Chain A
Amino acid sequence: MELLNIKINGREVSAPSGSTILEAARLANIDIPSLCYMKGINEIGACRICVVEVKGAKSLVAACVYPINEGMEVWTNTPKVLQARKKTLQLMLSNHKKDCLACVRSGNCELMELCRQYGVDDAHLYDGEMTPSEVDESAVHMIRDNSKCILCRRCVAVCKETQGIGVIGANARGFATHIGSAFEMGLGETSCVSCGQCIAVCPTGALREKDFTEEVFAALNDPEKVVLVQTAPAVRAALGECFGLPIGTDVQGKMAAALRQLGFDKVFDTNFAADLTIMEEANELVERVQNGGVLPMITSCSPGWIKYCEHYYPEMIPHLSTCKSPQQMFGAIAKSYWAEKMGVDPEKIVMVSVMPCTAKKFEIGRPDEAANGMPDVDIAITTRELGRMIQKAGIRFLDLPDEPFDHPLGSGTGAAVIFGATGGVMEAALRTAVETITGETLGKLDFTEVRGVQGVKEASYTVGGLTVKVAVASGLANASALLDKVKSGEADYTFIEIMGCPGGCVNGGGQPQVPYGIRNFVDIRAERAKVLYDLDASNPIRKSHENPDIQELYASYLGKPGSEKAHHLLHTSYVARTVNPKF
């Protein structure tokens, strides 16, 4: 790699050819602020916060997109630069609803942080006409308030480029420019898949999940209700970030303790249902292989992916596993098996799920997700919402002891916890499927070929004389490329895992927001996934079919995987949808 020598603020810096000024400055331990810039996804130099002086350039340049060249001299902190950045912030604030005191992003708003750094304390001088906007509450999972939008277009880029969807974009021009959908449709009327990646990348409070924490508090305070909670694998890998812990800190034990302090009657774990999913899904796969069913079979854990498939690849619906997602399986079992076992009236159960995901809010209201004549899950909240509940309840999260989950729906294996990372469901399924087919005990449990953050991964295994080709995709643009190969006949996989969000649930749309100034240099997907793989490695039971509580569930209640009872409780159906309106 060719190194170029440049000077930043008078100091010599060597950086690889092709670097931007922003990247080279980082090597010299200088942060240049940015708002619109997302490396590899949104490189448009639009917000002008990253401007710097370059010797010989006639005006300030955008450091995020300006490539370095040999001998270049750059200044990042001159009065001219600082004044320009401050003016840009003042202009942004002049068209920004400044209800910062109670804004959901207060404390981790990228705009607010920059205004503090640059001493923008005179925004009231710029009060005047604002771009007219209405709050869009049409989607089940989220709210858009354009009065807080700074038009950085990060949401637009992630929706179009990363997810390949593009239901949001910039409409109109000039002062009237606003982010919206075609013909000003509400997001809920479009083919939005509810993945929430737009929320995860929004620098301000313009995009946020629909908050259901008040509903949870109300249930917890209702003595008539039995309030159960389940937490998805990826939540424990990110919840700590809400309390200032480094990215990639495992807080499983503190999370269980906090949930108990909040007053949940039972603190359970979605990992239990992840193990159950593997039992059903592995059985479905073996049946499809043996009986000439539709192949490749594709996983169905990710409700964003499911909605995407229904809108964009309805012809592929027969490929989807009929297994409900772990969230839904959990609710169905809690309101049947657990309720019967404990003698609790299922009508009195309030099933709360904590998810790294906003599409889960959509999923709980889907048809065919109410096995017991009532919704399997009543309230789905995100990791962020749980963080806010813990703060509001005054729980000293960092000082909590590690506590275990409750028995029996709180037990999960190592195979279950890796569901939260891309490739995890595949690896968990392989561990069970290989042992089921061959009848032999696996020596090595790590299927490293399907691990890692790459968008598409492929592997081929020989199992009991049978060649099993598998593929894993995360992020919907990657999924689309993979599906096109399947449709064209170019690829003949047996089993495919698809997760809607890039990197899987650890990077879900419901996870704590990390400023892009950090995300451009730290891969949060890998950092958080490491938590899950460590939990897997340290778990004495690492195969779903060896979970004793799952074995007991089948022995005493369900019979065997794929039984009639299992089908009734644990499987679902899908609907074909369209991308555009039909006339």
Chain B
Amino acid sequence: MSTKQTVPFTGTPQQAEQLYKVIEELKDQPGSLMPIMQQAQEIYGYLPIQVQTMISDATGHPLEEIYGVATFYSMFNLNPKGKYRISVCLGTACYVKGAGRIYEKLQELLGIQGGECTADGKFSLDACRCVGACGLAPVMMINDDVYGRLTVDELPAILKKYQ
């Protein structure tokens, strides 16, 4: 998982206030770290170092413990999602049909690693498992649009549609 922060943090005082309220309510309950992290992700959309540090400072949990949880569970994101969320299926059928090359090419075209978001906030890139369209392998989705029987050469034109 990429840990690089590709998009500047733009949290607001209102969001911080919301987060501290959640922490105040939950922090004395045993095992409350994950619920706090889930709610923090709902407030901010993701869990950058700034948010994890706020949780650490307010709960006393070491920052590393929070980061360890955040990188263990795939539901937690260290980077925001873009306006256009690209998911490349790396399930078995898509993979044998060359989805790995699609994924690599997208990283190259967008200049980001999987799990990251472009600096302008437009595209985020993730790998996913089977979207239920194995007959169309290899498959990727951009938000709700499905692209099947993909080749590497088609990718620049597809991305251009969203620029």
Residues of A within 8 A of B (CB): 160, 165-173, 176, 180-184, 190, 579-581, 583
Residues of B within 8 A of A169 (CB): 62, 64-65, 67-68
Chain A min CB distance to B73 (Å):
8
Residues of A within 8 A of B67 (CB): 169, 171, 181-183
Residues of B within 8 A of A182 (CB): 49, 52, 62-64, 66-67
Q: How far is the CA of A199 from the CA of B80 in the complex (A)?
A: 37
Q: Is B56 an interface residue (CB 8 A)?
A: yes
Q: Is B50 an interface residue (CB 8 A)?
A: yes
Q: Is B53 an interface residue (CB 8 A)?
A: yes
Q: Are A166 and B65 in touch, CB under 8 angstroms?
A: yes
Q: Are A172 and B62 in touch, CB under 8 angstroms?
A: no
Q: Are B1 and A172 in touch, CB under 8 angstroms?
A: yes
Residues of A within 8 A of B72 (CB): 170-173
Nearest A-chain residue to B57, judged by Cβ: A580
Residues of B within 8 A of A (CB): 1, 3, 9, 49-50, 52-53, 56-57, 62-68, 71-72
Residues of A within 8 A of B56 (CB): 579-580
Q: Are B53 and A166 in touch, CB under 8 angstroms?
A: no
Q: How far is the CA of A183 from the CA of B9 in the complex (A)?
A: 15
Q: Are B49 and A168 in touch, CB under 8 angstroms?
A: no
Q: How far is the CA of A583 from the CA of B11 in the complex (A)?
A: 12
Nearest B-chain residue to A178, judged by Cβ: B71
Q: Are B62 and A183 in touch, CB under 8 angstroms?
A: no
Nearest A-chain residue to B2, judged by Cβ: A184
Q: Which of B50, B52, B57, B71 touches A171 (beta carbons < 8 Å)?
A: B71
24 contacts between A and B (CB under 8 A): A160-B62, A166-B62, A168-B64, A169-B67, A169-B68, A170-B68, A171-B64, A171-B68, A171-B71, A172-B71, A173-B72, A181-B64, A182-B49, A182-B63, A182-B64, A182-B67, A183-B52, A183-B63, A190-B64, A580-B53, A580-B56, A580-B57, A581-B49, A583-B50
Nearest B-chain residue to A582, judged by Cβ: B53
Residues of A within 8 A of B66 (CB): 182
| Most chain A C-beta atoms within 10 Å of own C-beta, residue among B3, B64, B71 | B64
Residues of A within 8 A of B68 (CB): 169-171
| Most chain B C-beta atoms within 10 Å of own C-beta, residue among A169, A173, A579 | A169
Q: Are B49 and A176 in touch, CB under 8 angstroms?
A: no
Nearest B-chain residue to A172, judged by Cβ: B71
Given known contacts A182-B67, A183-B3, A184-B3, what 13 new A-B pairs fall within 8 Å (CB)?
A166-B64, A167-B62, A169-B64, A169-B67, A170-B72, A172-B1, A173-B71, A173-B72, A181-B64, A183-B52, A580-B63, A581-B49, A581-B53
Chain A min CB distance to B126 (Å):
16
Residues of A within 8 A of B62 (CB): 160, 165-167, 169, 182
Q: How far is the CA of A176 from the CA of B68 in the complex (A)?
A: 12
Chain A min CB distance to B7 (Å):
15
Residues of A within 8 A of B57 (CB): 579-580
Q: How far is the CA of A181 from the CA of B63 in the complex (A)?
A: 8
Nearest A-chain residue to B69, judged by Cβ: A169
Residues of A within 8 A of B63 (CB): 182-183, 579-580
Closest 8 A-B residue pairs measured CB to CB? A166-B62, A182-B67, A182-B63, A169-B68, A182-B64, A169-B64, A172-B71, A580-B53
Residues of B within 8 A of A581 (CB): 49, 53
Q: How far is the CA of A160 from the CA of B52 in the complex (A)?
A: 18
Residues of A within 8 A of B64 (CB): 166-169, 171, 180-182, 190
Q: How far is the CA of A296 from the CA of B122 in the complex (A)?
A: 58
Q: How far is the CA of A294 from the CA of B84 in the complex (A)?
A: 60
Chain A min CB distance to B144 (Å):
29
Residues of B within 8 A of A580 (CB): 53, 56-57, 63
Chain A min CB distance to B60 (Å):
9
Nearest B-chain residue to A174, judged by Cβ: B72
Q: How far is the CA of A579 from the CA of B64 in the complex (A)?
A: 11
Q: How far is the CA of A171 from the CA of B68 in the complex (A)?
A: 5
| Most chain A C-beta atoms within 10 Å of own C-beta, residue among B3, B56, B68, B72 | B68
Q: Are A183 and B65 in touch, CB under 8 angstroms?
A: no
Q: How far is the CA of A176 from the CA of B64 in the complex (A)?
A: 16
Residues of A within 8 A of B9 (CB): 583
Q: How far is the CA of A170 from the CA of B56 in the complex (A)?
A: 17
Residues of B within 8 A of A184 (CB): 3
Q: How far is the CA of A580 from the CA of B64 in the complex (A)?
A: 10
Residues of B within 8 A of A168 (CB): 64
Q: Are B1 and A176 in touch, CB under 8 angstroms?
A: yes
Chain A min CB distance to B68 (Å):
4
Q: How far is the CA of A583 from the CA of B8 in the complex (A)?
A: 12
Q: How far is the CA of A167 from the CA of B67 in the complex (A)?
A: 11
Residues of B within 8 A of A579 (CB): 56-57, 63
Residues of B within 8 A of A183 (CB): 3, 49, 52, 63, 67
Q: How far is the CA of A170 from the CA of B63 in the complex (A)?
A: 12
Residues of B within 8 A of A170 (CB): 68, 72
Residues of B within 8 A of A171 (CB): 64, 67-68, 71-72
Nearest B-chain residue to A190, judged by Cβ: B64
Q: Are A583 and B65 in touch, CB under 8 angstroms?
A: no
Residues of B within 8 A of A172 (CB): 1, 71-72
Q: How far is the CA of A173 from the CA of B3 in the complex (A)?
A: 14
Chain A min CB distance to B14 (Å):
17
Chain A min CB distance to B54 (Å):
9
Q: How far is the CA of A190 from the CA of B9 in the complex (A)?
A: 21
Nearest B-chain residue to A167, judged by Cβ: B64
Nearest B-chain residue to A176, judged by Cβ: B1
Nearest A-chain residue to B56, judged by Cβ: A580
Q: How far is the CA of A371 from the CA of B9 in the complex (A)?
A: 45
Residues of B within 8 A of A160 (CB): 62, 65
Nearest B-chain residue to A160, judged by Cβ: B62
Q: How far is the CA of A316 from the CA of B85 in the complex (A)?
A: 49
Nearest A-chain residue to B50, judged by Cβ: A583
Q: How far is the CA of A583 from the CA of B59 in the complex (A)?
A: 17
